[in-house]
Amino acid sequence: MKLLAKTLEGLEDVLAKEIADVGGTEIKILKRAVQYEGDRECLYRSNIMLRTALRILVVKKTFNVRDDDHLYEQIKSIPWEGIMTLNDTFAIDATSSGEVFTHSKYIALKSKDAIADRFVEKFGKRPNVNVLEPTYRITIHIRDTRATLSLDSSAESLHMRGYRANTVDAPMNEALAAGILLLSRWSGDTPFMDPMCGSGTILIEAARLALNHPTQKKDRYFGFKRWKSYDKDLYEEIYQDQLNKRIDKKLEIYGQDKSLRSVKVTQQNLVEAGLDDIISVIKKDFFKTYPPKGVTVMLNPPYDTRLKEDDINKFYRNMGDKFHKDFIKADPWIFSGNLEALEEVDLGINNVFNLMNGGMPAKLVNYYFD
């Protein structure tokens, strides 16, 4: 079957590599998505293991549409009775871009009518709509006159891992945290530090990545678990196989933050993630830090709207100075959406990755010491 994994802009290549690792074939990189072929096993593994995916869609039909009536007929022609039953419920999420189809709610309404009318003509009844917890969540995306209709196999966004017991302001998206770690190619063989850890997302994703833990909990609700095609035995076999592939090795992962609240929040999240005996977190200022040799340092500096621009620029300059003075044998990375302030870090640049963070441009920068 044709699958489509949605992701964040800038992580498409990383996701494509992940998809190959879970058995996907005929991989095609798109904007904020990767298309591929896979069987039911691949579908389950994709939801369980893809760290940079937001959701996995099963593409049922791709077609051209001229107008509203043509859209209705195209969707009605799909053999829905082979997909769902009268006892199932469904909901439709529609998005569109271009000049022909401009109202997503109207697209959703026409699509709903097409599915309902097909059932009425065949059985005299129709399945009910349930926008909150449907058996089938159907997505339709129209770009200009090209439409793609899919089934959402994930339900909730896959960045929601289930370990975030508490947060600080503006927590990092878990899929984004996993993405920057994969871009850094850190594998757990060297010490790792996040000295501005916030709510601990980077730390937790680092440990789960290094130990090859499943991204999702076994009992997580996936959309495909409600489908009539769901194979519970296969799902449990695949999940156990992923558990068997976990890596048992000693990790050196250190977290700290100058905010006591951030430290406490991180500690709560570590307990929820089952990593409190692996990752140590302390209250400490970055500028008073002296790291172990060879450490990979990943920073997502906090953005304080109370600071004036000059203060932010100075803060970034000071970070660069601190790196140069006390992190000389480290591998430093900074992820930030303040592109101007990043220019103040006076270090050599190994690599730059252009990403997005909450709809805003951001960069992941790897530095070296002259």
Look up tokens 């709903």; give the residue. Answer: 112
* 265 vs 262: CA distance, rounded Å: 5
Angle at 70 between CA 116 and CA 5, to 5 degrees: 75
**pLDDT score for 237:** 98
* 353 vs 226: CA distance, rounded Å: 38
Contacts (Cβ under 8 Å, ≥6 apart) of 262: 168, 197, 198, 199
* Tokens matching residue 110: 């026409």
**pLDDT score for 100:** 74
Question: Nearest 5°: phi and psi at 103?
Answer: -120, 105
* 315 vs 57: CA distance, rounded Å: 42
Burial of 71 (0-12, 13-18, 19+ CB in 10 A): buried
**pLDDT score for 99:** 75
Model pTM score: 0.94
* 308 vs 204: CA distance, rounded Å: 32
Is residue 79 helix, strand or coil? coil
- Taking the chain (370 residues) in consecutive chunks of 10 residues, what is each chunk's mean pLDDT? 97 98 98 97 98 98 92 95 96 87 88 97 96 95 93 96 84 96 96 96 98 96 95 98 94 96 95 95 95 93 66 93 93 95 94 94 93
**pLDDT score for 110:** 94
**pLDDT score for 102:** 77
**pLDDT score for 369:** 85
* 109 vs 150: CA distance, rounded Å: 16
Angle at 338 between CA 334 and CA 340, to 5 degrees: 105
**pLDDT score for 307:** 60
Contacts (Cβ under 8 Å, ≥6 apart) of 70: none
**pLDDT score for 322:** 96
**pLDDT score for 357:** 92
CA-to-CA dists, residue 248 to 188, 211, 274, angstroms: 11, 7, 14
* 233 vs 313: CA distance, rounded Å: 56
**pLDDT score for 168:** 80
**pLDDT score for 309:** 59
**pLDDT score for 35:** 98
Q: Evaluate whether 90 touches 127 at the Cβ level (below 8 Å).
A: yes
Please report the domains of the chain, with CATH numbers, ordered by start residue. Answer: 2-152 (3.30.2130.30), 174-211+248-368 (3.40.50.150)
Region for residue 81 given its phi and psi (left: phi exceeds 0; alpha: psi -120 to 50; beta: otherwise): alpha
